[in-house]
Structure 1
């Protein structure tokens, strides 16, 4: 996984000394000696050893996580589905944060500074889980076009790729679903020379069932993209329009619900997509509907069983990791475990 070479290079702890020499792990070298003595084979061998050690460390971490709560048995079922090629990842905003994109709460708080909406009013809506209404309040207070520009400025540009999201092309040679507006997933697969056959916007993805049936690898941007207001789903008005009965988006969610979904980087606290999945489960019954899984953080002060009960209504079963630990590292550890480590 070449994308990890950046981390490897950082850990070499190279420093430039006053005399122009390069200091590596306490030893001093002239630049020309490094060029002569350190060939590419030596570097690649060192990187391979480092990667092996990293993997071993993270597999130990994964085992620690899986000993928590009822994670182990659930993870075993998830891994069985993965081995059969039946798992499709559903990627949320948390996976794009390491690449420099804001999470939704941070973005809304930043956007509020450009409106007349008070901090108390915004916080009140967010505390009630009314994210759609919060976005609508901000959008309504901005001049025509300004809200669209703010979305494009935040999510419509390319930042340097970073974080565990870069593992996805090496783990999932399948379709990917996301509600993110940025192009991080698309760029990760392109960087690995594993581009998608098609990129489908949820509001117009009528051909999705055919692609899924054929096993084609497509990227489904369920809520559209940053620079297209027509396909975007973000404000309360947009949610109401795209999630109304008979709309294509509901058919898209029903189509993806026939696969085992793995939610990664999603909070799943208040989510319209989860509401639709819950309705589908109510119609089909828990014993018939497909089971889905989620990698989720949990804090010591959170009511874990209440969250479990809420997710179970949509047939989503969580694999918990501690909220006070590095989210990206916990997810990477579990992904290594998923592909058969240990």
Structure 2
């Protein structure tokens, strides 16, 4: 199995199991338009009469400036002027903000990661000082561990040789925590060169603790490209060095995933997000308790329970808006499966987004409902539409909310499985999709026409649920 394929199989699984973390390096920030270390310290070097291209230890260059200026004022001013302005958040970090990560590490000072989380209103606790590590994050918030400090606290950043040499005195609490995360989690490194002495120190500790079977981690790396060098000889020499460097990282359990361009990193992370979403199934639907044929109501409830049970047994996560009748029945079946299999990990496997109902005589918050539907569509790789009806003026009508959920799922490119035999919106969507001869209809992923027709015939609820699970399984095989 090649490294890329291994990464795309193993890391999404770790995310699904809540056993993954990520480390964002300087390469991500430079890709967003921030200067490299050499560019950042170029003016400092000019003042000292030193060309940054001739200096391998840039921390030493910063230290020389600190000594000459009798303080960090000059260096910190340069960092403030170049790092403080906001740059556009790169697509890679937009994906990172959406992934089910609890711990994010970085050596970067900028606020790109914070802003990526702010853009989707996801809570994030940024920790930039060692003393802050003792403060528990807010429930539900991811944790951003800025081990070299942050632009918001300039006087506390790691920049010069003194800062690195005294790191274990001033910031030592970060190191055992990073070691613990690299021992217990699958860590993905993005944009990191592995030259940072603190990161290398932790890698050496991992090496000491696991001499033969280190925990497995991944690093997305862009190898040297011919266009990066003036001569072919220079490129070949650098390429050979890179090959040996990548092989050497295996001593620490680090598998290098090579990309030919930085844009390919975005594509890889999007694929990771898609594979995580494929483990989540959104059962969308509603059905009035009274007012419609009782046999149809009983059939729909039985299908919902059977489907929820099978999703639980198969290890899927359930996404649900707790729609009338259908939602509780699906969740009930899902609960039964978790209890029977001993997988009572509701926090990870059950994503319920109940829609806030207005007081009598008041209008619902439509924008809030739309945001909830958008979120459920975003995190779900498969959407099963079951029923989708409500009572109008004493007559059944199709539920507007389920229509909107179908549209939200279609826009995300999810696999849509309408169980037409359950009536309502599910039947209408099935009739719309069954006319297409391909696996897609106007960009919507769908089951085969034969499967759609089978789902339009009312049969044994258990058999209907089995067919839905087979469709999901076949789709996962094709997608991978």
Normalising by structure 2, we get a TM-score of 0.49
Question: 1:232 maps to which residue?
Answer: 157
Please tell me whether residue 312 in structure 1 is matched to residue 250 in structure 2.
yes
- Distance in 1 of aligned mates of 2:140 and 2:94: 22
Cα pair 1:93 1:180 within 8 Å, conserved: yes
Note the 1:20-59 alignment, pairs <5 A: none
Structure 2, gaps ≥5 residues long: 226-235, 276-478
Cα pair 1:169 1:188 within 8 Å, conserved: yes
- Distance in 2 of aligned mates of 1:143 and 1:228: 20
Aligned length in residues: 261
Question: 1:51 maps to which residue?
Answer: none
Q: Could you tell me how far 1:151 is from its partner in structure 2?
A: 1.5
Structure 1, gaps ≥5 residues long: 1-66
Q: 1:246 to 1:73 in 2, by over 3 A?
A: closer
- Distance in 1 of aligned mates of 2:170 and 2:111: 29
- Distance in 2 of aligned mates of 1:206 and 1:186: 17
Note the 1:67-106 alignment, pairs <5 A: 70-106=3-39
Q: Deviations over 1:25-52 (max 9, x none)?
A: xxxxxxxxxxxxxxxxxxxxxxxxxxxx
- Distance in 2 of aligned mates of 1:237 and 1:173: 33
- Distance in 2 of aligned mates of 1:76 and 1:160: 30
- Distance in 1 of aligned mates of 2:160 and 2:197: 12
Question: 1:187 maps to which residue?
Answer: 115
Question: 1:26 maps to which residue?
Answer: none
Q: Could you tell me how far 1:256 is from its partner in structure 2?
A: 2.8
Q: Could you tell me how far 1:181 is from its partner in structure 2?
A: 0.4
- Distance in 2 of aligned mates of 1:215 and 1:187: 18
Greater RCO, CA 8 A, separation 6+: 1
Please tell me whether residue 153 in structure 1 is matched to residue 91 in structure 2.
no
Please tell me whether residue 117 in structure 1 is matched to residue 49 in structure 2.
yes
The structure with the largest alpha-carbon Rg is: 2
Q: Could you tell me how far 1:332 is from its partner in structure 2?
A: 0.9
Question: 2:192 maps to which residue?
Answer: 266
Please tell me whether residue 201 in structure 1 is matched to residue 122 in structure 2.
no
- Distance in 2 of aligned mates of 1:132 and 1:337: 36
Question: 1:242 maps to which residue?
Answer: 167
Q: 1:292 to 1:232 in 2, by over 3 A?
A: same
Cα pair 1:277 1:314 within 8 Å, conserved: no
Q: Deviations over 1:189-242 (max 9, x none)?
A: 00111121x22115334327x669x88511111111124355311211101111
Q: 1:226 to 1:117 in 2, by over 3 A?
A: farther
Please tell me whether residue 337 in structure 1 is matched to residue 337 in structure 2.
no
- Distance in 1 of aligned mates of 2:272 and 2:264: 12
Q: Could you tell me how far 1:139 is from its partner in structure 2?
A: 3.5
- Distance in 1 of aligned mates of 2:75 and 2:20: 36
2:62 to 127, 130, 135: 135
- Distance in 2 of aligned mates of 1:297 and 1:291: 20
- Distance in 2 of aligned mates of 1:235 and 1:309: 30
Cα pair 1:308 1:318 within 8 Å, conserved: yes
Question: 2:93 maps to which residue?
Answer: 165
Q: Aligned-residue CA RMSD in angstroms?
A: 2.8
Cα pair 1:117 1:141 within 8 Å, conserved: no
Cα pair 2:103 2:142 within 8 Å, conserved: yes
- Distance in 2 of aligned mates of 1:315 and 1:211: 29
SS at 2:264 equivalent: helix
SS at 2:148 equivalent: coil
Cα pair 1:88 1:174 within 8 Å, conserved: yes
Normalising by structure 1, we get a TM-score of 0.67
Cα pair 2:123 2:140 within 8 Å, conserved: no
SS at 2:252 equivalent: coil
